[in-house]
Amino acid sequence: MHVLIDGHLRHYDVVERHRIGVAASREDTCRAMRETDYVRAIVPVARAVLEMRDVPRPIRDVAHRVEHLAPDATFTLSDALAGSFVLLGERRGRATVIGAIGKLWKPHVGFLPLTPPEFRAFHEPKYAKLALAFWVERFGRDKSVLRFEARVAATDDSARAHLRRWHRVVRPFTAFFMRRALANIKAEAEAIAAAPVA
């Protein structure tokens, strides 16, 4: 875990963690983390979902929406922050934590526009608080390890029951997506590292 995420969501009900080794410096990996377009990761996942049988309806509905994204649609960290997410914390060149609050288990999540202090103080019933942390650790001279952690905390028992049922359904798909996303960041970082210096 990273100390930055602890400062915003120390206690949580569900968590997901992933990591990947990268043949690039911490600086290049952080740059790739900021610039990578996550649509490139989610579109192949959505297409695979639509080819499966017996996929839960909420997952299939999301896959249909992704498949019909505009050809020029993007979703970078900047896009996330321009939309429903708020920047909770950052250590430039090392770590970024973003967050959002909504009803994740509903077809229309209804994310709330909040500032970082409002995120930390929020306790209104029937919602879930989501914090996503990306951080990069140096591993030798020109290598690094990229880590990701997602934490979700329900604001009351009713939301907690909804959240845990939702998470059991979506976890295989979110895990698949995040593995693809981290692989894309890795490829981008290694391309940056391999590019000739101007």
pLDDT tens by residue, 6-43: 989 999 999 999 999 999 999 999 999 998 888 777 77
DSSP single-letter state for residue 132: E
pTM: 0.86
Q: Which amino acid is at 164?
A: R
Residue 146 lies in a domain: yes
In the block, residue with structure tokens 């909040």: 114
Q: Residue 108: what pLDDT?
A: 79
Residue 69 lies in a domain: no
Residues of the chain with pLDDT > 90: what percent?
A: 52
Q: Is the pLDDT of residue 145 over 80?
A: yes
Task: Work out the average pLDDT over 107-119.
Answer: 88
The total number of structural domains in the chain stands at 1
33: closest CA among 49, 42, 22? 22
Q: Which residues contact 25 (CB under 8 A, 6 or more apart)?
A: 138, 141, 142, 143, 144, 193
Q: Considering only 1-10, 40-49, 161-170, 172-181, which range has the smallest mean pLDDT? A: 40-49
Q: Is the pLDDT of residue 118 over 60?
A: yes
Task: Work out the average pLDDT over 60-79.
Answer: 74
Residue 53 lies in a domain: no
Q: Which amino acid is at 98?
A: I
Residue 145 lies in a domain: yes
Domain housing 32: 3-37+75-194
Query: What's 127's domain CATH number?
Result: 3.30.530
